[in-house]
Structure 1
Amino acid sequence: MKVYNTRAIMASLLICGFVGMFSETALNIAISNLMKVFQISAATAQWLTTGFLLTLGILMPMTGWLLQRFTTRQLFIASLASSIVGTLIAALAFNFEMLMFARVLQAVGMGLLIPLMFNTILVVYPPEQRGAAMGFVGLVIMFAPATGPTVAGLLIEYFTWHYIFWLSLPFLIIGLLVGLKYLDNVTEVAKPQLDLLSVFLSTIGFGGVVFGFSSAGEGGGGWGSTVVLASIGIGLLALIFFALRQHVMRDPMMNLRVFKYPMYIVGLFMVLTCMMIILSSMIILPMFLQNGRGLSAFGAGLMLLPGSALNGILSPRMGRLFDKYGPRWLVIPGLILVAVTLWFFSGITPASSVAFMVTLHIGLMVGISMVWMPSQTNGLNQLPPELYPHGTAIMNTLQQVAGAIGTAVAISILTSGMEGYLHNSKAPTQQTEVANALTLGSQNVFVFAMTVTLIGLAMAFFIRRVIVKREVLHSSH
C-alpha cells in the first residue's frame, strides 16, 4: 500500500478549508455594514450568502465526476486558484457587483475543496483511523464559521470590511504552497463521460430548490410567492428526471447506488439533521442577541464563540472515540443533549442571563459534535472505494440543500411569530414590544429545531457500527 505524508496533505487541505469557511461566515456579520456602504436593501445583500450557497448547490453534484476525471493535484490547484482570485477581487471590491462576482469564485473554490478533502481522507487513511482524521475536518468546518463573526466584528469596528479578505489571502497562498510541495495524487484517474443532460438537470434541480427556499427565507412574498413555488416545483421535477437518468446510465454523474447501503442512509440523515439544527439556530441566535437582548455585533459573536470553539476542539476527540467504540454511544446521547438544550432555548426571554445562554449554546454545540462526524464517517465507511466520490458528492450536495431549507424555515417561523405578536400589540412600534415579538418568534424556531432533533433521535436507534473488511485494503498492495 502506498505511504502518504498524511500530515502535510491534511495540513494543506485544512488550512485552505479553514480560510474558505471563515470568509463564508465572516461576511454575515458585515451584511448590515455593506447595506450602508453600497446603499442596497437587505434582500439584495442577502445574495452574498444565497449566491454562495447556490454556486455550491450547482457545483457539488458534479464533484463525484470531477474527482474521477482529474488528479488530486489538478483539483486542488483549480480550487485554490479560484479561492485566491475570488478573495483578491473581494478585498479590492468597490461595488456590490464586484463583491458578488468574487463570492461566486470563492464558492467554486470551496465547492471543489470540501469533497476533495473528504475523498482524500477516505483514500489515505485506513478505516480505524478515519474517525480521528474526519474529526479534524469537523474542527475546520465548525471552528472556522465560529471565529468568522467574532474576528469580522473586530475588523469592522477598527478597520473596514475589506480586511476580512486581506486577512484570508496570505493563508490561502501558504496552503497552496504547502499543497504544491506535499500533496500527492491519491486517486486513480478514470475517463468517465460527462453527461450534459445530467449536468443540466442537476443544475436546474438543486439550484432551483436552494434558490426557492432561500427566496422564501428572504421575505418578499414568502412561501406563497410565485417565484418560490415555481423554483421549488421546477427544481423537484428536474431532480426526479435527474434520478431517473442516473438510474439508466452506465457511468452516472451521481451514482445513486450509495442508497443501497443502510448505514450510509442513516449517516446522511444524521448529517442533514445536524445541518438544519445548526443553520436554523445559528441564524436566529445572533438576531435575538443583537435585537432582543441588545448586544453589539461583536458582543453577539463573542457569546457564540465558546460553544463553537469547543465543538471544533472536541471534533477530533469524538473522532477518536468513534474509532474506538463506534457511533452508537456518541450519537444517541449527543441527540438527547441537543434536544434538551433546544427545549431550554425555547423558553429564553430578553431577561435570560448571558451566562445561561452561553451555557446552552455550549451544550448544543457539544451535542452536535457527538453526532455529526461519527455518523458521517460511519456512513461513508460502508461504501466500497469506487463509490467514495459519489458518497461524498451526494452528502455535500444535500447538506447545502438542508442548509438552505433550515435557514428559510427558521426565518419564516421567526417572521410569522413576530407578525402575529405585533398584530395583536397595542404599541407595535415600541422597542420593548419589538423585542418581545422577536423573542416569541425565536422561541418558535427553537421548538422547530427540537422537533427535527427528536426525529433524528428516533432514526439514531437504527445506527450500528460498520466493520470495514481489511482484505479490501490488502488487495491494493
Structure 2
Amino acid sequence: MNNTDINGKHYNRTLMVIVLLIGSFCTVLNQTILSTAFPTLMKDFDVSTSTIQWLTTGFMMVNGVMIPVSAWLITRFKSKWLYLGAMTTFLIGTIICFIADNFTTMLIGRLVQAVGVGLSMPLLQTIMLSIFPPEKRGVAMGMAGLVIGVAPAIGPTLSGWVIDNMTWRDLFGMIIPVVVIVIILAMFFMKNVLQTRKEKLDVTSFILSTIGFGALLYGFSTVGDKGWSSMEVILPIIGGLILIVIFGYRQLHMDKPFLELRVFTSREFTIAAALSSVTNMAMVGVEMILPMYLQIIKGLSAFHSGLALLGGAVMMAIMSPITGRAFDKFGVKRLAITGMLFLTIGTVPFVFLTKDSSTLYLTVLYAIRMFGISMVMMPVTTSGMNSLPNNLISHGTAVNNTTRQVFSSMGTAILISVLSNVTKNNMPGKHLLKQMPLVYKDHAINATLTGYHAAFMVAILFCIIAVCLTFILKNTNAKGVK
C-alpha cells in the first residue's frame, strides 16, 4: 500500500502505529489501574467507599460522554494535532493525580485524564481502519485489540504490585515519562492521515449527547451502591434515555448530523455492534465480580486477586494478533461462533464455585473465557466497520464504542445488583450471630456464594444471547467476500 498522508507526502506507517499503540495503551490502562488501590486512597484521603468509587465512576462517565463527541472532532480537526491534544490532556490529568494532596484534586485529575482517553481510543481505531486496506484490517484491529483488551486487564495486577511495593503516586508517576516520550515521538511520526472538513459544532446535539449519556452512565454506575429502587438510579436512567431518544431523532433529521446514526442501516454493522456490546457485558461484569469473590470468599490480597486475572490478559495478548490474521483468512462467522462457545464453556463452571475452589482452576477458566473473547471482539468489530464506507468509519467507531460503553455499565450494574440482592435475601437472621456465631459465619458464606452463583448465571445468559447473534452474522472475510 502507498503510505501517503492527506497531503500526498510519504510517511512511515510502522512507526506511526507503534506511537499510537503505546500512547493508547497508557491511556486505556487507566480505566482499571486504581481498582486495587482504593483501600489505600480511602485511608490517605479519609473518604468512604462510595466516595472513592467516583475515581472510577467519574472517569468512565466522562470517557463515555467524550466518545460520541470524538466523531465530530475526528472529522473536524487534523489527526496529528488531535492525537497530540488528546495525549497532552491525558498527561495534564496524570500530573494532577500524581501531585494530588486531597480527594477533590485527585478526582479533577481523573476527569481530565478521561477526556484524553475518550479521544485517543476512537482515534486509534479510526486511524487503524483508515491506513490499512480491508484485507489487512483484521491484523490492524488485532493490534488495536491488544491495547483495548489487554491494558484494562493488567491494570488490577499492576496496581496491586505497585501498592504493595511502592506508593499510590507511583501508579501515575510511572506513566508520566512514557506519555512525555509518546508526545515527543508523535511530533515527528504522527501524520495527518484522515480527511477533515470544516463543520460547525451542533451545540444542541452536543448538550443532548453529553447530558443524556452522562446521566445514563451515572444511573447504571450507582446501582451497586444505591439499588434499583433508588430515585438516584431511576431518574438519571429515565432522564438519560429520554434525552438520548431526542438526540437520536435530531441526528436522523439533520443533513450533517453530529453523530451519524444511519450506520445502523447496515445490517452487518448493527449485528456486529450488538454482538461486541453483549460480549463486553459478559467480559467486564465477570472482571468486576471475580476479584471480589477471590478477596471476600478466598481471602486473597488485592495483588493476588489481580494476579489471577493476569493469565486471561496474557491469553488475550497472544491471541489478538492471531485472531486478526485468522479473520483476514477465514472470515468472521466461524471465529465468532467458536469464540462464543469458548466464552460460554469457560463461564458455566463459575456457577458451581465453592469456598474451596482452587485459585489455579479459576485462573485457567478465566483464561479460557478471554481466549473466547479474543476470537470475537475485534474480528466482529472489524467486519462491522468493513461494511461501512470510509467516510463513515469515524462515526461507526464512535457509535460502536458508545454502545459498548453503555452496555458494559449495564452489565456490571445488573451483575452487582443480582449479587447484592441474592446474597442479602439468603443471609441468616441476626439472632443466629449471638446464639451460634460459627454457624452464622458458615451460613453467611453460603449466602454470599449463592449471590455469586446467581450473578454468574446472568453472565451465562449474556453469553447465550451472544452465541445466538453469531449465527446471524454473514461469513464475510476482510475483503467482504462470503
Q: TM-score range by the shorter chain?
A: over 0.9
* Residue among 170, 177, 188 paired with 1:170: 177
Question: Is 1:99 paired with 2:109?
Answer: no
Q: Which residue pairs with 2:332 in the alignment?
A: 327
Given that 1:339 and 1:453 are in contact with CA atoms closer than 8 Å, whether structure 2 keeps it comes out as yes
- By how many angstroms is 1:333 displaced? 1.1
- By how many angstroms is 1:436 displaced? 2.6
Q: Deviations along 1:387-418, whole A, 9 cap, x unmatched?
A: 11110011111121112111111111110121
Q: TM-score of the superposition, structure 2-length normalised?
A: 0.94
- By how many angstroms is 1:346 displaced? 0.9
Given that 2:428 and 2:444 are in contact with CA atoms closer than 8 Å, whether structure 1 keeps it comes out as no
Structure 2 letter corresponding to 1:439: L
Q: Which residue pairs with 1:440 in the alignment?
A: 450
Q: Which residue pairs with 1:242 in the alignment?
A: 247
Query: In structure 2, the residue corresponding to 1:109 is in which secondary structure?
Result: helix
Output aligned runs, 1:277-426, within 5 Å.
277-423=282-428, 426=432
Structure 1 letter corresponding to 2:192: N
- By how many angstroms is 1:440 displaced? 1.5
Given that 1:90 and 1:98 are in contact with CA atoms closer than 8 Å, whether structure 2 keeps it comes out as yes
Provide the C-alpha distance between the structure 1 equivalents of 2:297 and 2:3, rounded to a whole number of angstroms. 56
Structure 2 letter corresponding to 1:53: M
Q: Which residue pairs with 1:157 in the alignment?
A: 164
Provide the C-alpha distance between the structure 1 equivalents of 2:125 and 2:179, rounded to a whole number of angstroms. 19
Q: Which residue pairs with 1:266 in the alignment?
A: 271
Q: Deviations along 1:125-168, whole A, 9 cap, x unmatched?
A: 01111111111111112221222211211111122111000011
Q: Which residue pairs with 2:41 in the alignment?
A: 34
Structure 1 letter corresponding to 2:209: S
Provide the C-alpha distance between the structure 2 equivalents of 1:195 and 1:135, rounded to a whole number of angstroms. 34
- By how many angstroms is 1:447 displaced? 0.6
Q: Deviations along 1:400-459, whole A, 9 cap, x unmatched?
A: 111211111111111012101214584497554443332221111111011011011111
Given that 2:327 and 2:477 are in contact with CA atoms closer than 8 Å, whether structure 1 keeps it comes out as no
Q: TM-score of the superposition, structure 1-length normalised?
A: 0.95
The percentage of aligned residue pairs carrying the same residue is 37
Question: Is 1:207 paired with 2:214?
Answer: yes
Instruction: Pick closer, same or farther for the CA change 1:94–1:467 going to 2, 3 Å.
Output: same
Structure 2: segments with no counterpart, 5+ residues? 5-10
Instruction: Pick closer, same or farther for the CA change 1:350–1:467 going to 2, 3 Å.
Output: closer
Provide the C-alpha distance between the structure 2 equivalents of 1:338 and 1:65, rounded to a whole number of angstroms. 35
Q: Which residue pairs with 2:119 in the alignment?
A: 112
Provide the C-alpha distance between the structure 1 equivalents of 2:449 and 2:16, rounded to a whole number of angstroms. 46
Structure 1 letter corresponding to 2:312: G
The number of residues matched between the two structures is 468
Q: Which residue pairs with 1:77 in the alignment?
A: 84
Provide the C-alpha distance between the structure 1 equivalents of 2:363 and 2:419, rounded to a whole number of angstroms. 21
Instruction: Pick closer, same or farther for the CA change 1:180–1:216 going to 2, 3 Å.
Output: same
Provide the C-alpha distance between the structure 1 equivalents of 2:66 and 2:154, rounded to a whole number of angstroms. 26
Question: Is 1:257 paired with 2:267?
Answer: no
Provide the C-alpha distance between the structure 1 equivalents of 2:127 and 2:263, rounded to a whole number of angstroms. 18
RMSD across aligned positions (CA): 1.6
Q: Which residue pairs with 2:465 in the alignment?
A: 455
Give the stretch that moved more between structures: 429-438 or 208-217: 429-438
Provide the C-alpha distance between the structure 1 equivalents of 2:442 and 2:47, rounded to a whole number of angstroms. 28
* Residue among 74, 78, 86 paired with 1:67: 74
Provide the C-alpha distance between the structure 2 equivalents of 1:296 and 1:431, rounded to a whole number of angstroms. 20
Provide the C-alpha distance between the structure 2 equivalents of 1:112 and 1:248, rounded to a whole number of angstroms. 26
